[in-house]
Chains A and B, each alone.
Chain A
Amino acid sequence: SQTIHQWPATLVQPVGSPLSLECTVEGTSNPNLYWYRQAAGRGLQLLFYSVGIGQISSEVPQNLSASRPQDRQFILSSKKLLLSDSGFYLCAWSEKGMGDYEQYFGPGTRLTVT
């Protein structure tokens, strides 16, 4: 069966520090991968999605970036965090091709920028 992992689960970082959040998927190959951010009590904002290694689509221009160095690994980064980067970050994956297109979500990372 497929599983999705995210780490760390919780992170507290000062303004201006770098960020690296990691997401890995097991039990599937060549998945679509997604990064979402959820501010407190708010909806999900799609940040990036990837259909393959090195292929990243950005939905929101900001100081965050994403990379997909391996088929089942998706990394969210920042060189300098802002206070507004605080939130709950969710990684998700889905199958390609014909299918029900359900997205499966990871457990999330709670980021607090101080």
Chain B
Amino acid sequence: AQTVTQSQPEMSVQEAETVTLSCTYDTSESDYYLFWYKQPPSRQMILVIRQEAYKQQNATENRFSVNFQKAAKSFSLKISDSQLGDAAMYFCAYKDRSGNTPLVFGKGTRLSVIA
């Protein structure tokens, strides 16, 4: 079974600085999707960024980018120019490309942004 590991339960970053959240996963599949979700204090889950495993180019969405290392099964999230509104729980998730199997989530990293 696939597993997702987020080894940093908590992280903090100064406002305007850059922070990287780590995620590793385990799978025997060659084609899959990876996601980062954000859960602010409102508890609403929001998709931040997605990566397709067959694409070598790292995904980027404004201040958010990923470092996808397929051989190492690593999928880290970089937040540049951190803002107070970035403070949230961040969840890494994995999805097989085939079938209707659900997402597999990591346990999350709580990010604090210091003004």
Residues of chain A at the chain B interface (Cβ within 8 Å) = 32, 34, 38, 41-44, 46, 49, 51, 59, 88, 90, 92, 96, 100-103, 105, 107-108, 110
Determine whether the beta carbon of B44 is less than 8 Å from that of A107: yes
Indicate whether B105 reaches chain A with its CB closer than 8 angstroms.
yes
Determine whether the beta carbon of A105 is less than 8 Å from that of B108: no
Q: Known: A42-B107, A44-B91, A96-B100. Is A101-B33 also a contact (CB below 8 A)?
A: yes
* Alpha-carbon gap, A9 to B107, bound state (A): 23
Please give the distance in Å from A75's CB to the nearest CB on chain B: 18
Determine whether the beta carbon of B47 is less than 8 Å from that of A102: yes
Residues of chain B at the chain A interface (Cβ within 8 Å) = 33, 35, 43-45, 47, 50, 52, 91, 95, 97, 100, 102-103, 105-108, 110
Residues of B within 8 A of A103 (CB): 102-103
28 contacts between A and B (CB under 8 A): A32-B100, A34-B102, A38-B43, A41-B110, A42-B107, A42-B108, A43-B91, A43-B105, A43-B108, A44-B105, A44-B108, A46-B102, A46-B103, A46-B105, A49-B102, A51-B100, A88-B43, A90-B43, A90-B45, A96-B100, A100-B33, A100-B50, A101-B103, A102-B47, A103-B102, A103-B103, A105-B44, A108-B43
